[in-house]
Structure 1
Amino acid sequence: MTSWFRKKGTLETIALEEEPLASSSFTRSITPHTPLLRVSDVHRSFQVGGGKIDVLKGIEMELRPLQLVMLKGRSGSGKTTLLNLIGGLDLPTKGEIVFQEHAFHHSSDDDRTLIRRKEIGFIFQSYALMPLLSAWENVELALRMAGTPRSQWKERVHHCLDLVGLGKRMHHRPYELSGGEQQRVAIAKAIAHRPSLILADEPTAELDSQMGAQIMSVFRNIIATEQVTICMTTHDPTILEDADHVYEMVDGRFVT
């Protein structure tokens, strides 16, 4: 399979020794000019000892359908804190976060959990795979947790693993896979329940530059095929040209 990626304003190819992308009949109703998520004047503070640390300081942003958005910044700039708020894993100290029609800043833990289970997928730097389960079983587990009917599991797992180029490695356990392959399993797991938003925390940080470029190519294919929006954190300047929009964070604020 040959995949495309952006580099210095041009399109180049990388050859992947994997299976071709599976076709999908899935379609999602999308209004391109309507934000999928809005963040308005968001602040997040934490009590540490007898003092307060302000981690986010008035964040304003939008995520639109079918975009690849990157949060760029050094460690400690607030990227992961913001990603947790966008995903409903935490609540802002002040401000509003609206995902689709859901006001996360007013939602209970249970309500946010139900929304995440149906509409949001997560990809972590450490892959977060079950070590004793095969790639197939890890993706299947995501469908179980999302409450997907059992009759749909086989077709959906096969499609997701083919989509990330692991059609020939789907019965291997994580320790039998390379770092790049483990990240591909994590991606397949994140998209299995057909979310509308994928959140990825430093998904290329543990990979070399070639593997990182391949993961970005996989993201582009997923946006087109699965009709999702991807928001990811990074401090890797080599992949920024793949983004539709980049928000740079310094000390809890966006800079231009």
Structure 2
Amino acid sequence: MAWGKQALKKGEEQPEKAVHSEKLLLVNNVERVFQAGGAPLKVLKGLNMELRPKQLVMLRGRSGSGKTTLLNCLGGLDTPTSGEIWFNGRQFSKMSDDQRTTVRRKEMGFIFQAFALMPLLSAWENVELSLRMAGTPRHLWKERTAHCLDLVGLGKRMHHRPFELSGGEQQRVAIAKAIAHKPILLLADEPTAELDSNMSAQIMSVFQNIIRTEDVTICMTTHDPTIMEVADHVYEMVDGRFI
């Protein structure tokens, strides 16, 4: 809480200053309540957590534990019923929808379990589309697209369409697409759920590589105990709480 107040007091609105602070993201006593059949259903129950620069943090829990709801709140796709989320020196949870959209577009990347690739576009075109949507100057597209695909090990497969790629390769394209606009936070929802153990290990190796080379923090949800050892921190979720 003190960190958030200090950032607000000093007016640290510039990402260059905030990203080098001790904490990139701070969650203070966050709750999320939905209405189910006219009765309140508390999905998140007073959560506190933090993400620091260049960390790999995992939210582990069974289906229904609340981890995806929390991830959606961290990314501004949903807002807490109560509590605060501070991101990059700003009170993210109190921003307007338009403000959160701008932050997501410039400073966050998202990876989904189902890959979320355009099926008729090649790997190259999928990554290039991400740059186009982020407003990246056109003259930078070619170099950045090639760099991101090389970074995830798809330099020789960049002109293949999703249906011509394996599940692990499709997930790599999704990662390249998510980091193309140089976000400082990457949020991944069960990125290894559809992959076998070998492919999962490869994806985690890619994550570790991009944390080192792209100066990005990754927060991901998972229920896979075999990948826990590579995390800097694991938050275990049960019934909307950390244990």
TM-score, normalised on structure 1? 0.87
Among candidates 171, 186, 189, match of residue 159 of structure 2: 171
- Residue ranges of structure 1 left out of the alignment (5+ in a row): 1-27
Q: Distance in 2 between matches of 1:194 and 1:31?
A: 13
**Alignment correspondent of 2:93:** 105
Cα RMSD, aligned residues only? 1.2
CA shift, 1:106, in A, is 1.1
CA shift, 1:234, in A, is 0.3
Is the CA contact (8 Å cut-off) linking 1:32 and 1:64 kept in structure 2? no
- Alpha-carbon displacement from aligned partner over 1:144-178 (angstroms, at most 9, x marks no partner): 01000000000000000000000000000000000
Is the CA contact (8 Å cut-off) linking 2:18 and 2:24 kept in structure 1? no
Q: Secondary structure, in 3 states, of the residue corresponding to 2:114?
A: coil
Among candidates 202, 208, 212, match of residue 190 of structure 2: 202
**Alignment correspondent of 1:220:** 208
2:44 maps to 1:53: no
**Alignment correspondent of 2:114:** 126
Q: How has the CA–CA distance of structure 1 residues 185 and 44 changed in structure 2, closer, same or farther, with 3 Å as cutoff?
A: same
Q: How has the CA–CA distance of structure 1 residues 154 and 66 changed in structure 2, closer, same or farther, with 3 Å as cutoff?
A: same
**Alignment correspondent of 1:82:** 70
**Alignment correspondent of 1:147:** 135
Q: Secondary structure, in 3 states, of the residue corresponding to 1:155?
A: helix
Q: Distance in 2 between matches of 1:139 and 1:102?
A: 29
Q: Distance in 2 between matches of 1:179 and 1:233?
A: 18
Q: Secondary structure, in 3 states, of the residue corresponding to 2:173?
A: helix
Is the CA contact (8 Å cut-off) linking 1:91 and 1:105 kept in structure 2? yes
Q: Distance in 2 between matches of 1:30 and 1:240?
A: 29
Q: Secondary structure, in 3 states, of the residue corresponding to 1:81?
A: helix
**Alignment correspondent of 2:103:** 115
Among candidates 69, 81, 85, match of residue 93 of structure 1: 81
CA shift, 1:101, in A, is 2.0
Partner amino acid for 2:90?
A: H
* Structure with the largest fraction of helix: 2
- Alpha-carbon displacement from aligned partner over 1:2-54 (angstroms, at most 9, x marks no partner): xxxxxxxxxxxxxxxxxxxxxxxxxx878666100000000000011211110
Provide the identity percentage: 75
Q: Secondary structure, in 3 states, of the residue corresponding to 1:105?
A: helix
Q: Secondary structure, in 3 states, of the residue corresponding to 2:47?
A: strand
Is the CA contact (8 Å cut-off) linking 2:18 and 2:88 kept in structure 1? no
Q: Distance in 1 between matches of 2:192 and 2:231?
A: 14
- Residue ranges of structure 2 left out of the alignment (5+ in a row): 1-15
Is the CA contact (8 Å cut-off) linking 1:77 and 1:250 kept in structure 2? yes
TM-score, normalised on structure 2? 0.92
Partner amino acid for 2:192?
A: T
**Alignment correspondent of 1:245:** 233
Q: Distance in 1 between matches of 2:124 and 2:171?
A: 14
Q: Secondary structure, in 3 states, of the residue corresponding to 1:157?
A: helix
